[in-house]
Structure 1
């Protein structure tokens, strides 16, 4: 196993794509140590994505792509301006609120960073915000996307652990909103300190009405998805397909700005994005098989139990570990590799499986904004026209409040579990 882990680390340091890191490391094990027929590799690669729930991923990706090509993003930004435009640091607040709204459309942080960043980072720079600050606000608020439903990473987690997608969707609302409120508080403090601008006049009632009306189509999408799942009208996978149909209808027949060329481009980009995600899932499943054969989960469970019998200390250790893993490994790969290992250990400590899921998902999504991996930082850097390192430094206060929210979620479980309880998932 030393050779396997060494190859894993070396390939990571060489910046090899994570899917190939996982696949090559697994192949080394099966070739030299596994004493298992190589046909098992093909079987595991196939079964890694042979799951009906995973069909939701390409549908959600496509829905997000189609939404991005309509004017829904602009309408949501306008609505956010109407809501929080008079708060100090108005555009930073608008950025965060738009991320909350946009979470219901894409379910992916990188997509949120690209879509919202391309609109609001230039606008924030124009109003005097530093480019690194504008990018920091955009990247740190974009992690709300994978937490508030619908969410691609939630689908992956549900596949890895057999947790209810509906329960995870409902459970994500409170953590996502708490992160949004925390980020708004930090932005407010910065605005008061550095005299960031805000709108000083009240928006006319007529303009407010029009802005609200125009935003309804964007706001309805997550309500349809979550409402349909809760009511039993459709499954999460069917909900993703409904989201695609909704995006097409809105873009083609309502806004009439979604051309055939846009639709074809959306399908092409969605196919590439989905292919990357599913390749990571299938190779991570293969690597997970290696860990299982070597009894790594059992060894880790024994180590943790010997390390501490205190549930709260265990949660602290797990949070530190996951924050570290989120810095160096892609979120989907982390979920596939770690969730099946850590969840049974958490249950030994009497931790609710849904509570642990929410802790893990929030924690790993914070990793999207932290170096050295920080894919959202890399996405925002060219939009803002600044180096990755500058954005990372500017993001630290916002990451700090996200960690505070993470600790609240960790040690105050009723705060995040009450919605699943009242909706019948617990």
Structure 2
């Protein structure tokens, strides 16, 4: 048995066993990776090497963007942003069938991109729009399904922490290019769900009676304008070369803090220690996970596991479309029981060499990977956004899944388009000159 196959089996078997036992994913990754290298390396050398890999894995300047974007997102979550974006979305949806549900879709896309969190979007939007939809006669399962299905769009529409993580583990993909590449797939996800809402709303006669005068619409726009300017300033600054993605994350923190403290006055100084603590805890979890996963990345590279997987898949078939479909299926299954960050850290070094052998661009693969893992956040048994949306919507998973099936179909169609039409991901960053 080759060392690549032996190491791969050790990692796979130990990782599955420990996850089934309830061992935290970071600990399971570290132990299985160290054990995988023991057949060719003494224990003390393996442990010392693993320790070095943890520190070298997190000693990357671009990782500083993660804690700052997390902090900016937490400030935004408490800063009165949600209600202003919802009011803006109401103007844009007008009198469309299911206009409140359409508002939910647009608001999730806007708020998710600002906060960088699908669960935050599902919680904020569901708790505000849900009761209004109920008063207007909307089916609670219908409303919850719309909220759940569209909350992950903000993970594709930048800024997005998982894109920064992918850029690191892929070996230096451009964060700016990834940010730009996520726009069209994220918007297509939202538009496909809006089409489903339109069809179902007409069938069930879900209409809204919300009326606004021209003056009210103008006031709503002015209230939401500072929120939208955050996206323009941060993303525009990154694309224009004014600052890097890491520096842009600091700009996002300063802007959101000033806006919430002095503009909307929705956060008080006494709230800041709690926000800082929550952000530090989230950052610690993600950074430790990245550090430990760098052990696995090194073990895979050292033992040649990615090359083994690549040869096996290319030996199975030389049809590019079949291989990409197979990778999509695997990632969709993985996403149902594993969170996005560990899944990204584990499967990028495995599947990226395969896709590059097929001529796939590293940016295109990153968007395909993240798109798949976003779907995993709204599918059982470990879909965090699904659970948040169900709780906020006060419905059961069993009842809402029936409604979600329509959206899964539409989202899967968009996934296939993103997979097989590279320009959907690559056109915008190419035009803007960031790749």
- Could you say which TM-score interval applies, normalised by the shorter chain? over 0.9
Shift in Å, 1:85? 3.9
2:321 is aligned to: 312
Task: Check 1:55–1:190 CA distance in 2 against 1; reply closer, same or farther (3 A cut).
Answer: same
Q: Which runs of 5+ in 2 are unaligned?
A: 1-6
Structure 1: stretches of 5+ with no match in the other structure: none
Cα deviation for residue 280 of structure 1 reads 2.0
Partner of 2:192: 182
Q: Find the counterpart in structure 2 of residue 19 from structure 1.
A: 26
Q: Does 1:72 align with 2:81?
A: yes
3-state SS of paired residue (1:369): coil
| 2:173 aligned residue (148, 163, 185) | 163
Would you say 1:241 and 2:247 are equivalent positions?
A: no
**Partner SS for 1:145:** helix
Q: Distance in 1 between matches of 2:396 and 2:281?
A: 27
**CA distance in structure 1 between the aligned counterparts of 2:40 and 2:130, rounded to whole angstroms:** 51
Whether contact under 8 Å (1:179, 1:402) holds in the other structure is: yes
SS in 2 for 1:48: helix
User: Which of 258, 264, 275 pairs up with 2:273?
Assistant: 264
CA–CA distance in structure 2, aligned partners of residues 29 and 305 of structure 1: 24
Cα displacement (A) at 1:114 = 2.1
Further displaced range: 243-252 or 386-395 = 386-395
Q: Is 1:7 aligned with 2:17?
A: no
Aligned to 2:234: 225
Deviation larger for 164-173 or 40-49: 40-49
1:221: Cα distance to partner?
A: 0.8
Quick one: which of 42, 49, 69 aligns to 2:58? Answer: 49
1:379 and 1:286, CA in 2 relative to 1: closer, same or farther beyond 3 A? farther
Judge conservation of contact 2:155–2:162 (CA < 8 Å) in 1.
yes
- Alignment partners' CA distance in 2, 1:178 and 1:92: 17
Equivalent of residue 35 in structure 1, options 34, 42, 59 = 42
2: CA distance, partners of 1:425 / 1:186: 34
**CA root-mean-square deviation:** 1.9
Matches within 5 A, 1:100-139: 100-139=109-148
**Please, which of 205, 225, 236 is the counterpart of residue 214 of structure 2?**
205
Which whole-Å CA distance do the structure 1 matches of 2:30 and 2:176 have between them? 31
Q: Which residue of 1 aligns with 2:4?
A: none
Q: 1:385 to 1:21 in 2, by over 3 A?
A: farther
Deviation, 1:99, is: 1.1
TM-score, length-scaled by structure 1: 0.94
8 Å CA contact retained: 1:90, 1:199: no
